[in-house]
Amino acid sequence: MTTVLSGRRVVLPDGDGFVIRSARLTIDHGRILTVDVDPQTPDPPGTDDLGDALLTPAFVDAHTHLALVGLRGAVGAATTGNVVEDLFFHVERKMVADDVRALTRVGAYEALLAGTAAVWDHYYFGRAVLDGLADVGLAGVVAPALQDLDGPGRDRWEAELDTTVTAAHDAALASRGLGVCLGPHATDTVSDALWRTVVDAASRHGLPIHTHVAQSLDEVRRIGGRASTTPLGLLERLGVLGADVNLSLVHGLFHTDADLDRLDPVRHMLVACPSAQAWFDFPAPVATWSRRGLRWALGTDASATNDAQDVRSELRAVAMLRTAHVANDPAHGRWRSGAGIAEAEALRAVRDRAHREDAPLTDTAAALHRVWTTPGAQHPGLPCGAIAPGHLAHLALWDLEHPSFWPGRDPLRALAFGQVGGALQQVMVAGSWRGARGDFARSITTSAAWRDASREASSRLGRLLPLPW
């Protein structure tokens, strides 16, 4: 069935940026078929008139583990050492597929309520993640976690690989905006042989690869010991970097300059999760990535480390990184100890340099690309993140009359860096509107589906993780 939407404020791609225009969209089988800009003919009968509300792409979260929502807030209590191994692995070893499906649903609801239509979810029991997303009506790409050296999925990697290959050709999933990619867990939990299998499968099935790389000091130590190189050096040696597939490299806290030289800005996409990284280690050096012209997107990682599954809020975190270092500059220490006005003048120079060199961190269009088009282009079969023909109809509708947008002169800037969550009127996922227009959050959080999902997840979490944890 074809849906026709008509609005006076539709955010469309325009060169490197975006433009707000009047437009009429036709949507068929979950995809945008046509975009008629400034239409000169009357809307056909049955057109959904969006009036003056702002129609944008819905957000694409480039890296999640939705099922870890059950550990929300846990990392604050346990951040010494390696949180993935010390805490997550411990709980994950007890999980069965139905636990993952139930917990994924809760994380999916949280993401949907933040205006996200698609996630890149990297987790164990990939089929259960796909089912959990389908239960809620969220779209995205699932990377069933593959690991054969260590970790809770160590004895399941063959089953997860089967799931990946089978789901890659599942037309029913694709019609809901769901797909898969290869999901090797990390360089230190995956053997050289399995990495080669991953590259072969990705190339044969035309699938992207999505993996954690250089996410912990332990990983750097282990790869140094095992292969006398860095995590990215190992991936180059094994042919992963050279494979003709889209590759998402998540976290990247410990890439050297020589590592960054190895990356191809077309095929390789770095993913930063600043809020989560700030809890489990430190925010990735995204300013350096931008200065080098590398392609990078944003993810929330998990509520366990991030506390929230709202990828738009990561844009504010990135904007902070432009000048967060100024107060830690040695000149600030000298100023504090009474060295005089010359040190304050020196700080001004540090600030000005940050504003000049790292402007992309606070540029509105560059920011929105990191949660729309950049991650949306990563799966060749599921393009999204732009209102353009051929893209999945993942859309968000915003009330520009809401105080958080007022006076409405630069709605894209407010969208990128403001707190506009209360203005979200409705989200469309793969051509289907979710929630009631204008009553979006309440209509979902009072639904029987949410109540049932929440109840089952609570009961399963109680068994996995008896209080107090």
212 vs 434, beta carbon nearer Zn ion? 212
Q: How far is the CB of 63 from Zn ion (least distance, A)?
A: 6
Q: How far is the CB of 369 from Zn ion (least distance, A)?
A: 21
CB 63 within 8 A of CB 437: no
210 vs 434, beta carbon nearer Zn ion? 210
Q: How far is the CB of 324 from Zn ion (least distance, A)?
A: 22
CB 140 within 8 A of CB 121: yes
Q: How far apart are the first and last CA of the chain?
A: 49
Which residue type, as a one-letter code, is found at position 61?
A: D
**How many CA within 13 A on the CB side of residue 224?**
9
The burial of 45, by beta-carbon neighbours within 10 Å (0-12 exposed, 13-18 middle, 19 or more buried), is given as exposed
24 vs 122, beta carbon nearer Zn ion? 122
Q: How far is the CB of 328 from Zn ion (least distance, A)?
A: 27
Alpha-carbon gap, residue 146 to 315, rounded angstroms: 30
Q: Which residue is nearest to Zn ion (CB)?
A: 301
56 vs 313, beta carbon nearer Zn ion? 313
**Beta-strand relationship, 247-251 and 209-213:** parallel
88 vs 433, beta carbon nearer Zn ion? 88
Single out the residue of 299, 235, 291 nearest to residue 268, CA to CA: 235
Q: How far is the CB of 233 from Zn ion (least distance, A)?
A: 21
Other Cβ atoms closer than 10 A to 464: 16
Q: How far is the CB of 301 from Zn ion (least distance, A)?
A: 5
CB 367 within 8 A of CB 30: no
Q: How far is the CB of 65 from Zn ion (least distance, A)?
A: 6
70: which 2 tokens? 């059950």
Alpha-carbon gap, residue 109 to 106, rounded angstroms: 5
131 vs 301, beta carbon nearer Zn ion? 301
301 vs 399, beta carbon nearer Zn ion? 301
Q: How far is the CB of 271 from Zn ion (least distance, A)?
A: 9
Q: How far is CA 22 from CA 14, 130, 264, 361, in A?
A: 14, 36, 37, 29
Name the residues that contact Zn ion, by CB under 5 A. 301
27 vs 62, beta carbon nearer Zn ion? 62
Alpha-carbon gap, residue 464 to 105, rounded angstroms: 16
